[in-house]
Amino acid sequence: MLRTLSASHDRFALNAPFRIARGVKTAADVVTVTIRDGAHVGRGEGVPYPRYGETIPDALAQIAAIAALVEAGASRADIATVMPAGAARNAVDNALWDVEARVAGREVAALAGVAAAAPVASAITIAIDAPDAMAAVAARHATVPLLKVKVNREDAAAQIAAVRAAAPAPRLIVDPNESWTIAEVDGLAAFLREQRVDLLEQPLPAGEDGALAQVSAGIAICADESLHTRADLAALRGRYSHVNVKLDKTGGLTEALALADDAVAMGFGLMVGCMVCSSLGIAPALLLAGRAAFVDLDGPLWLAQDRDGGVRNRGGILHPPARGFWGAA
Q: Could you tell me the CA-to-CA distances from 326 to 29, 106, 282, 295 in Å, in that order? A: 20, 12, 10, 19
| HEC assignment per residue over 240-294 | CCEEEECHHHHCCHHHHHHHHHHHHHCCCEEEECCCCCCHHHHCCCHHHHCCCCE
CA pair distance 107, 260, nearest whole angstrom:
20
| One-letter amino acid of 320 | P
Catalytic pick among 25, 148, 150, 249? 150
The phi, psi pair for 97, rounded to 5°, reads: -55, -45
Provide the 8-state DSSP code for 6.
E
Asked about 150 being catalytic, the answer comes back as: yes
One-letter amino acid identity for 78? D
SS3 content of the chain, % helix, strand, coil (to 5): 40, 25, 40
Determine whether 148 is an active site residue: no
**Whole-number Å distance between alpha carbons of 221 and 206:** 13
- Which residues form the catalytic set? 150, 246
